[in-house]
Amino acid sequence: MKRVVVDPITRIEGHLRVEVNVDEATGKVEDALSSGTAWRGIELVAKDRDPRDVWAFVQRICGVCTSTHALASLRSVEDALNIEIPKNANYIRNIMHSCLDAHDHIVHFYHLHALDWVSPVEALKADPAKTAALQETVLKTYNLSGLEPAETQSTTSAYPKEFPKGNATYYAAIQGKVKKIVESGQLGIFAAQWWDHPDYQLLPPEVHLMGVAHYLNILDKQRDIVTPHVVFGGKNPHPHYIVGGMPCSISMDDMNAPVNSARLAVVDESIALAKDLVNHFYLPDVLAIGQIYAKAGMVDGGGLSKKRVLAYGDYPDEPYTGIKNGDYFKKCLVRANGVVEDFGLGVDKAKFLPLEGEDLMNPDFLSEEVEHSWYEYPDGKKTIHPSEGITKPNYTGPKTGTKEHWEYLDETKKYSWIKSPTFKGKACEVGPLAKYIIVYTKVKQGIISNPTWAEQMIVKQIDTVSSVLGVPAHVWMCSTVGRTACRCLDAQVAANMSQYFFNKLVTNIKGGDTAVANTKNFDPNTWPKEAKGVGLVDAPRGGLGHWCDIKDGKTSNYQCIVPTTWNACPKTIANEHGAYEANMIDTKVKIADKPLEILKGIHSFDPCLACATHLYNKKGEKIISVNTDAMCK
Amino acid sequence: MKEKTNSLWKLFQERKLSRRTFMKTCVALTAILGLPPTLLNKVVDAADTKELPTVIWLHGHECTGCDESFIRSTSPFASDVVLNMIALEYDDTLAAAAGAPFEAHLHKILTEKKGQYVLAVEGGVPLDDNGTYCMVGGRPFVDVLKECAEGAAFIIEYGSCAAWGGVQAAKPNPTNTVSVSSVISGKKIIKVPGCPPIPEVMTGVIMHYALFGEIPPLDVEGRPKQFYGNRIHDTCYRRPFFDSGLFVEKFDDEGAKAGWCLYKMGCRGPVTYNSCGNLRWWNGLSYPIQSGSGCIGCSEKGFWDNDNFHQRLPQVQVANTITTADTIGTIAGLTAFGAVVAHGGVTLAKHKYDTIQLEKKYQEELDAKKAAKEQANNEGGNH
C-alpha cells in the first residue's frame, strides 16, 4: 500500500490537495481524501453591507465562473425583498449566464482538462496529413448539430463561420512549433508532467496533434464568447449588475445608450461564435476521445453520481415572483431541481426526490456538517442549515508533519477547510452530469410530462450519444468520461439558450418594452424591517445556493453552499465520501507515483476551490484565533 | 540546457512573416503601450534584439479572475504571450503538471534563473496563524512567496488582491490578508491593480519588459503611469454630461437611456485611476460606465470599504462653474431645464434634450398617422 499526495492540484481554481492509498499490485485506490487548503472568509466580509452591493462582494468568490455568484446573490436579495425584475433584465441575465456556461465549459475542457488526455510529446509523432484527414472524419462522425429546435435558430447569421483548420500545412506548422518548444528544453506550461504515462498511448498521435492545435486555437477565440458580459455588464471577469434588474438601459435613439442595435449586433455575433465552437470543436473532440476510452473499457470514476445527485433548476423563461414561494421552479426552462438516487442501476430503477420552494429553507432538506472540517459548531450541534450558518475555525493540522509543514493529513479526524453539505443527511454529487441525470430521469419516468425545448434537447443529446457510443446512458454517463461529456452537452444547450433569450429580447424590444430595471423597491426605506431570501443558480459546476438575511437595511447573515463544496467535501458524519473522494476510490491507478488517472478524475469535476471554502460567524463575533502553539489552546 | 533567447523578430521569421508585418506589429504595440509614435524606432530595436523573460506566477488568496482576464488579451494574444513572449515556467492555473514534480520544477527554476526571473503574484497574503489559512504544497503561501521573491528580478502584483489585499482584506479582514508589498521588501514591485485589471494592461506590462528589457515608468504608488495616469472621470465618454449637469437620477430613466453621467448613482470615476475610460475592455468595446453602471473604483486601495456603491461621492466640482452637481440638480428639478440653459457650456446638452423632445413629438405624429391609415384600410376592407 502506498500513500500518494498530489498538492497542489493544478489547472483548477484555488488550492486543493488530495491523498490516496493505492494498492500497488492491483492499482486499486483503497481510500482517498480531498482537502481544500485555504479559506478567505468572504461571507463574513459580506455581513453588514448594503444588500444592493453584496452581489459585487460575493462575485469575487470566483473569477472563473464569474457572475454566477453575483446572479445567485441578486436572486437571494430580490427573493427577500419581493422584487420582480423586468422581462428584458431576465432575458439579459439569462444570456449572460448561458454565455458564461458555454465559455466556462469550453475553457475548462481545452485549457484545464485537455492535457490529461492529450500530450504535446505524443503530438510530435503525428502525420500532419493524417491529422487533417482525421479532423474531417471526426467532424462528420461526431456531428451533433441538428438537435436544436426552431426557437433557437438565428435570424441573422448567414452560415456557420468557425470551423477547425483542417489542412496538413496547418497541422505541420503547429507541430513545428511544439517541436521547437520541446527541443528548447524550456517547456513552460508543458513542463514536468507525466508525459510517459501509458494513458497517453491510448489515443493515436494524430488525436494528440489535433487536441494541441485546438488548445491554442480556442485560447485565442474564447474571449469572444463572453462578449455579452462586456456589452451588458461593462467588463469580464466580474461584470456589473443592479438589484432589480440590469443597469444597461436600452434605447434605439442614442449611440451613447448601453444597448442599441449596434451593441446587440456584437452580442448576436458572439452567440453565433459560441454555437460554432461547441458544434465544430468541443463536441466532436470530446466524443472522439470519449469513444476511444469507452471502447477500451475505461469508464470508471462514476463514484457518487451512480448513487445520488442534486440540482436546483435554472433559466427562468419569464420573470418570477419569488424562489421560496415556488414560482421560480415553475418558470425554469431546465427543471432539474431535485435529487436522483441510484441512477447507476439504470434510468428505470432510479429514484427521484423533489426539492423546491420552502424546502430550500428547511434544515431537514439541506444542512452542513463539520465533522471532518477545520471548524466546530457550538453546543455539540452536528448539522446546521445554511441560513443559520455558524462557524468557528478549529484548525487541528495534519496527522504527520507540523501545522505549517504537512506530510500527511488525517482522514479519521479533521482535514479540510471545506464543510460537508448534505441533502437529508446524505452527500450528493452536483454539476452538469447531475443536472443531466435528473432531467433525463424526470422526463423518462414521466415526472416532467410537458418537457420544454431545453429538456427535450437534453434527452435527445443523451440518447444520441448513447447510440454513438453503443452503451446505455447510465453506463457511459456515470464515469469520468461521462462527466466530461455531459459538461460538453451542457455547453451546447447553453449556446442555444443564449440564442433563445436573444431572440426573446429582440422581440420584446420590438414590442415597445425597453425597461431593464424595476426600481420601485430600490430605496431601503421601502424595505421591511426583516426579510429572508434564497438565490439559486445551476452554475457551470453545479447547484449554487445563496441564503441572505436582511435586517434594518443591512445584510445580517449571508451564507453560500457552492457546487465545489458539495463535490470536494470531506466525509459526512455517516462516513459517506463526497464526490471527489468517491471518484478517486472508483478509479484504477496504473502507476502509484504518477496518478494521472486521479488528476483526470478530479479535473472532470472542474474544481473551483475559492468557491468551496468559506467561513461565517452569524453573530459577527470576532473569529477566535487559531493557536498553532498547542500550549495556547 | 539550451537558452530560449528568441527575439520578437526572430519569432516572426520563424513563422515566415514579413518584415512589413513585423513593423506593423511594432506600430500596434507602440500604440497599445501608450507610447508616442516617435518611440517607434525604440520599439523596433527592442523587438529585434531582446531576450524573453522567465515568469513564475503564484496564487494566494484570490479568485483566479486575474488569470481569466490575462487570457482574454488579444493584442497581444494570450497564446503568443504564453508560448513566445515569456517562458511561463510555473503557473498553477495553466501548467500541465501537478504535485511533487511541479514543485520540484519550481525549485529548479528558482535556482537556475536566480536573479533573472519575473515573479507575478495573484492574490493577497493571509498572515494570521502563521499563514495557515492558505496552504500550497503543504506549506503556508506566505513562505512560498518569500522563497520565490528572494531571487526575483522584480515582482508584479497582479490585481487588487496582490496590490492592496483585495476583497478578503475588507472589513473585518477575517484572515488578516495583506498585499504582497507588505511582506516583501528590497525588491522592485510593480502594482497592477484592478478587480481584475484590463487584459491588455496585464499583458502590456510584460510586453514592455519583453521589448525594452526594463520595467515601465511607474508612479509613486508603483503603478505603470501609462495605464494608471488618468482618472476614469477625465477620460470618460460621459464626461461632457457631467460638465453640462446632465445626470442619471434613477436607474433606467431617460438620462440612463441617453447615456448621461452616472455621478449621482455613486460612480467612483472621479477618484479612480485606471484605463477603463480610454483603453476600455475588449479593445475599446465597453467599460462599466458605458454599460450603464457606475464605476466601483476596483483599482483603488481600500475601495471595498468605500461602500455603499450607490452612495454618491461628496462634493465633486463641476468644471468651469462655481456650482456643484447638487445645485444643478436642484435647479433643473425645479424649473425643468430652464435653469440649465442659463448655465454656461450646456448648449449642446440642451440641444440634445430638445432633439429628444422633438423626436418624441414626431414619433407621436407618425403613430397617429399610422393608426389613422390602418383604420382607413380596415374600413376599406370591410366594404
Flag if B174 and A44 touch (Cβ within 8 Å).
yes
- Give the pLDDT confidence of A395-431 residue by residue, as tens digits: 888 888 888 888 888 888 898 888 999 999 999 999 9
Helix (H, G, I), strand (E, B) or coil at A434: helix
Among A19, A184, A189, A246, most B C-beta atoms within 10 A, so best to mutate, is A189
Give the closest-approach CA distance of A221 to chain B in angstroms: 9
Interface of B with A in 313-342 (CB under 8 A): none
Residue A281: how many CA atoms within 13 Å on its side-chain side?
Answer: 33
For residues A523 and B225, what is the distance between their CA atoms, to the nearest angstrom?
Answer: 39
Which residues of chain A neighbour B95 with C-beta distances below 8 Å?
A: 10-11, 189, 191-192
For residues A95 and A182, what is the distance between their CA atoms, to the nearest angstrom?
Answer: 41
Flag if B104 and A192 touch (Cβ within 8 Å).
yes
- Give the pLDDT confidence of A269-327 residue by residue, as tens digits: 999 999 999 999 999 999 999 999 988 888 899 999 999 999 999 999 999 999 999 99
Is the pLDDT at A616 greater than 60? The verdict is no
Q: What is the pLDDT of residue B14?
A: 67
Which range has highest mean pLDDT (A469-473, B126-130, B165-169)?
Answer: B165-169
Residue of chain B with shortest Cα separation from A612: B63
> Nearest Cβ partner of B134 from A15, A220, A253?
A15
Flag if B135 and A15 touch (Cβ within 8 Å).
yes
Is the pLDDT at B240 greater than 60? The verdict is yes
Q: A147 vs B184, which has greater pLDDT?
A: B184
For residues A570 and A579, what is the distance between their CA atoms, to the nearest angstrom?
Answer: 9
Flag if A37 and B135 touch (Cβ within 8 Å).
yes
For residue A167, give the amino acid letter.
Answer: N
B369: exposed, middle or buried (Cβ count in 10 Å: 0-12, 13-18, 19+): exposed
Is the pLDDT at A592 greater than 90? The verdict is no
Cβ contacts of A450 within 8 Å, gap of 6 or more: none
- B93 in reach of chain A (CB within 8 A): yes
* DSSP tag of B218: B
The grid coordinates of residue A480 equal: 469520468
Q: Where are the alpha helices (DSSP H) in B35-188?
A: 40-49, 65-71, 78-80, 99-112, 141-150, 159-164
Q: What is the pLDDT of residue B42?
A: 61
Is the pLDDT at B51 greater than 70? The verdict is no
Which residues of chain A neighbour B307 with C-beta distances below 8 Å?
A: 49-50, 53
Residue A176: how many CA atoms within 13 Å on its side-chain side?
Answer: 10
Residue of chain A with shortest Cα separation from B291: A258
For residues B235 and B230, what is the distance between their CA atoms, to the nearest angstrom?
Answer: 7
Strand pairing of B177-178 and B139-140?
A: unpaired
Q: What is the pLDDT of residue B1?
A: 32
Residue of chain A with shortest Cα separation from B266: A53
Q: What is the pLDDT of residue B362?
A: 67
- Give the pLDDT confidence of A171-207 residue by residue, as tens digits: 999 999 999 888 877 788 888 888 999 999 999 999 9
Interface of A with B in 52-111 (CB under 8 A): 52-53, 56-57, 60-64, 66, 107, 111
Which residues of chain B neighbour A42 with C-beta distances below 8 Å?
A: 167-168
Give the closest-approach CA distance of A628 to chain B in angstroms: 7
Flag if B257 and A240 touch (Cβ within 8 Å).
no
Residue of chain A with shortest Cα separation from B83: A188
Q: How far are the Cα atoms of A268, A369, A370, A376, A427 from residue A380, in angstroms, in the given order? A: 55, 12, 11, 9, 21
Give the closest-approach CA distance of B383 to chain A in angstroms: 30
**Among candidate residues A221, A107, A238, A593, the one with its CA nearest the CA of residue B93:** A107
Among B116, B117, B135, B201, most A C-beta atoms within 10 A, so best to mutate, is B135
Find the helix or strand (DSSP H, E) in which A393 lies: strand A392-393
Length of chain A counted residue by residue: 633
8 Å CB contact between B156 and B120: yes
Residue of chain B with shortest Cα separation from A51: B308
The grid coordinates of residue A401 equal: 508533519
> Nearest Cβ partner of B72 from A236, A241, A251?
A236
Q: What is the largest CA-CA distance in chain A?
A: 73
Flag if A192 and B105 touch (Cβ within 8 Å).
yes
Task: State the count of interchain CB pairs (< 8 A) between A and B.
Answer: 330
Which residues of chain B neighbour A246 with C-beta distances below 8 Å?
A: 292
How many other CB atoms are found less than 10 A from the CB of residue B281? 27
Which range has highest mean pLDDT (A159-168, B22-31, B351-360, B370-379)?
Answer: A159-168
- B354 in reach of chain A (CB within 8 A): no
Cell 450519444 appears where?
A: A465
Flag if B252 and A53 touch (Cβ within 8 Å).
no
pTM of the model: 0.88
Give the closest-approach CA distance of A464 to chain B in angstroms: 32
Q: Please state the rounded mean pLDDT for residues A341-367.
A: 94
- B251 in reach of chain A (CB within 8 A): yes
**CA A295 to chain centroid:** 27
Q: Is A572 left (phi over 0), alpha (psi -120 to 50) or beta?
A: beta
Give the closest-approach CA distance of A248 to chain B in angstroms: 5
Helix (H, G, I), strand (E, B) or coil at B204: helix
- Give the pLDDT confidence of A215-247 residue by residue, as tens digits: 999 999 999 999 999 999 999 999 999 999 999
For residues A5 and A7, what is the distance between their CA atoms, to the nearest angstrom?
Answer: 6
Which residues of chain A neighbour B129 with C-beta distances below 8 Å?
A: 395, 625-628
**Beta strand extents in A335-378 (DSSP E only):** 338-341, 351-353, 366-369, 375-376
- B166 in reach of chain A (CB within 8 A): yes
Is the alpha carbon torsion for A224, A226, A228, A232 positive or negative?
Answer: negative
Q: A17 vs A14, which has greater pLDDT?
A: A17
